[in-house]
Structure formats: structure tokens, C-alpha cells
Amino acid sequence: MNLTVIDHPLTRHYLTVLRDRRTTSEQFRAASRRLTYTLIHEATARAPLHQIDIETPLEPAVGYRMPGVVAIAVLRAGLGMLDAVIDLIPNVKVGFAGLQRDEETALPMEYYFRLPDLSGSVVLILEPMLATGGSLSWAVAKAKSNGAREITTLCVVAAPEGVRRMYQDHPDVRIVAAALDRELNSQFYIQPGLGDMGDRLFGTL
């Protein structure tokens, strides 16, 4: 299973803030950003560094530089993780992936997809709620067809159903999450979860 659950105390603290129904939108956004910092360390832990020569004030030394990184935010909840990525990796290039359910056919429908050049980049896909895995699997397939090779997904909460779907469709893709929850309910919400991430981020409850 390609899932890493981060159990760092800061991750658990901010996840608790996100889960708590009393958390306001302002607190929710801040907690989402802070929790994402704790996921980025693990998500980038295998990034192939470029070795460079530098000089300290005292003598020559060997240094390292991050490779190019592309973050793809799955709309709209993925936007709640983006600020943390931009803060830690300021030269990150950003793509967006939007999928919604067609009201008439109930089939998933792409409404927005835009990627920068992915060649040679480490790709991070921001999908906070890994529920059925349908949107994430679609975003990964699109990224792969645009040339992505090293893909890691960052999730706040994952459901077993979504993790299984990802393992079936994309066994090569790593998932870094703050929690693996119990199950999906009949409405496809993760339980215990944190509710609708997009609504809580953007106050559209």
C-alpha cells in the first residue's frame, strides 16, 4: 500500500482543529495551511536534489537545490493546501484540476483543467479529501498523460475506499495523508471526517 499517514503531534493537533465542528472558516483556513506544512516534508522527502558548489564565508562547500516542483490543486478544496506549498517552495508552478458531477447524468464532468509544463518536475497533487478516489484518479491520469512521472498526492483525510481505488488505478503514486478514516457514508462523505472541506474553507455552508 502506497500510503503514508503522518502522525506528528502538530499534524494531529491541526487535524483536530479541522475536524471540530465549532472551528470557524478563518480558523479552518489557517489550520489547513499549517497542517499542509507538516505533510510537505514527507511528500518531498524523496525529491532528487541537484548537487551544487557554493562558498560559505569560510570555504567552498557542497550544497543542494530542490528540483522543479509542480503542484496541482484539485478544485476547489485543494486550494486550501496551496498557500503552504507556495510558501515552502516559492518557485513552484501551479496547475488546477476541476471535476464536477453532471446534474443530469450523474457522471463526472471535467470543467477546468490547466497544467504548466511538467517535464522533469516532481508533481504534488493536492486533494484534501480522498473519498471514492474518482477525482484523484482522474487528476493523476491527466497528469500522467501530460508527462508526469514522479507523483505524490497530499491528502488531509483518506477513506479506505479511496486508497483502494488509487492502489488499483495508480499503484505507483504515493499518498501522504494526515489520517486514514473509517469509511464513507451513503452520501460519500468520509467518517468521522471533517465535513465538506470546500464549504468549510470558503464559508459556503
Catalytic residues: 101, 105, 196, 199
Phi/psi at 203 (5° precision): 70, 30
Map residue 16 onto helix, strand or coil. Answer: helix
* Tally of CB atoms within 10 A around 135: 24
Residue 161 interacting with ligand URA (CB under 6 A): no
Residue 193 interacting with ligand URA (CB under 6 A): yes
Report the residue number, 96 or 118, with the smaller CB distance to ligand URA. 96
* Tally of CB atoms within 10 A around 149: 13
Report the residue number, 119 or 185, with the smaller CB distance to ligand URA. 185
Which of 17, 113, 196, 202: binder of ligand URA (CB under 6 A)? 196
Which of 129, 139, 140, 143: binder of ligand URA (CB under 6 A)? 129
Q: How far is the CB of 137 from ligand URA (least distance, A)?
A: 14
Which of 37, 138, 167, 189: binder of ligand URA (CB under 6 A)? 189
The residue ranges of DSSP E strands in 66-194, in sequence order, are 69-74, 93-101, 108-114, 122-126, 129-130, 150-158, 174-180, 183-184, 190-191
In angstroms, the CA 73 to CA 124 distance is 9
Q: How far is the CB of 196 from ligand URA (least distance, A)?
A: 4
Q: Which residues bind ligand URA (CB under 6 A)?
A: 77, 129, 131, 189-190, 193, 196-198
